[in-house]
């Protein structure tokens, strides 16, 4: 399948590293002009450099989307593809999660994407083409006891995505959620080290984490960010025109269900 996104612009939030950067790279490889966002300008510049060296058109916007999306909306008032990847997570005993933490997780993981969708979706609908995606998690369906505040936000994204898909019905715009499983990123390495004691070599720590905390995984390893990006690139393509309102899993078979 040849995916050609030439002439399209894609905004990817939370994309200075990890899954977001892999998504940006995948969209750029398909020909899209890509806008990377993050709070740290230096990290964004470093992330964009190899993509530009490969010939991609990449722009960066340093912005805290949980607080104020203005800098992004001023620089990029329109887009063809919006990937709401921004998210935070951390292990926390459920009874120790404060009101402020609940609010911070909801603002960052849910409302930041809602605000961007509310801004960009009308233009997509007027033009008769567009793609909006939310990056959720297996935690949306299988809430982990060690971070229910995170799981709550990812569950919310399933409803948000389905609702916006209905709002865009019949316009040529699709809205979907990608349910990512346990993925190998820098943040997840830190998370694994929090849960797996000792100074084990990374491969041993990863296998112990999967065995003890994510035993449902059918691939029995962490997913690589590029594997998530492959699904996002497909959903961003003209070939995915009949896929909307869905929750598509790239979870390594972690969720033990036929449907999400």
* 138-170 residue pLDDT tens: 999 999 898 999 999 999 999 999 999 999 999
- Is residue 194 domain-shared with residue 103, that is, in the same domain? no
Specify if 3 maps to a domain. no
The residue range of the domain holding 166 is 9-183+224-250
- Is residue 59 domain-shared with residue 165, that is, in the same domain? yes
* 47-64 residue pLDDT tens: 999 999 999 999 999 999
pLDDT of residue 163: 98
- Is residue 125 domain-shared with residue 200, that is, in the same domain? no
150 is a catalytic site residue:
yes
Specify if 255 maps to a domain. no
- Selecting among 150, 213, 234, 254, the annotated active-site residue is 150
**Cβ atoms of residues 133 and 178 within 8 Å:** yes
- Is residue 74 domain-shared with residue 189, that is, in the same domain? no
Q: How many domains does the chain have?
A: 2
pLDDT of residue 122: 98
Question: pLDDT below 70 — which residues of the chain?
Answer: 260
The whole model's pTM is what?
0.94
At residue 71, the 3 state secondary structure works out as helix
pLDDT of residue 191: 83
Give the separation between CA 204 and CA 212, rounded to whole angstroms: 12
pLDDT of residue 260: 66
């Amino acid at each position: 399948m040849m995916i050609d996104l030439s002439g399209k612009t894609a905004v990817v939030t939370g994309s200075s590293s990890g899954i977001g950067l892999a998504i940006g790279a995948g969209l750029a490889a398909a020909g899209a002009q890509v806008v990377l966002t993050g709070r740290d300008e230096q990290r964004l510049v470093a992330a964009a450099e190899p993509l530009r060296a490969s010939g991609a058109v990449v722009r960066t916007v340093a912005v805290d989307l949980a607080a104020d999306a203005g800098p992004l909306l001023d620089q990029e008032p329109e887009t063809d593809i919006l990937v709401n990847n921004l998210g935070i997570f951390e292990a926390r005993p459920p009874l120790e999660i404060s009101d402020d933490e609940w609010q911070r997780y909801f603002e960052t993981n849910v409302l930041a994407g809602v605000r961007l969708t509310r801004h960009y979706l009308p233009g997509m609908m007027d033009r008769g083409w567009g793609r909006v995606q939310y990056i959720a998690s297996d935690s949306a369906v299988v809430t982990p006891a060690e971070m229910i505040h995170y799981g709550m936000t990812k569950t919310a994204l399933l409803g948000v995505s389905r609702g916006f898909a209905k709002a865009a019905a019949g316009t040529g715009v699709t809205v979907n959620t990608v349910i990512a499983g346990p993925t190998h990123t820098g943040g997840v390495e830190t998370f694994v080290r929090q849960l797996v004691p000792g100074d084990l070599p990374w491969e041993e720590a990863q296998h112990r984490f999967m065995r003890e905390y994510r035993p449902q995984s059918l691939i029995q390893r962490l997913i690589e960010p590029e594997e998530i990006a492959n699904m996002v690139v497909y959903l961003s393509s003209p070939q995915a025109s009949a896929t909307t309102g869905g929750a598509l899993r790239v979870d390594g078979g972690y969720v033990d269900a036929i449907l999400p």
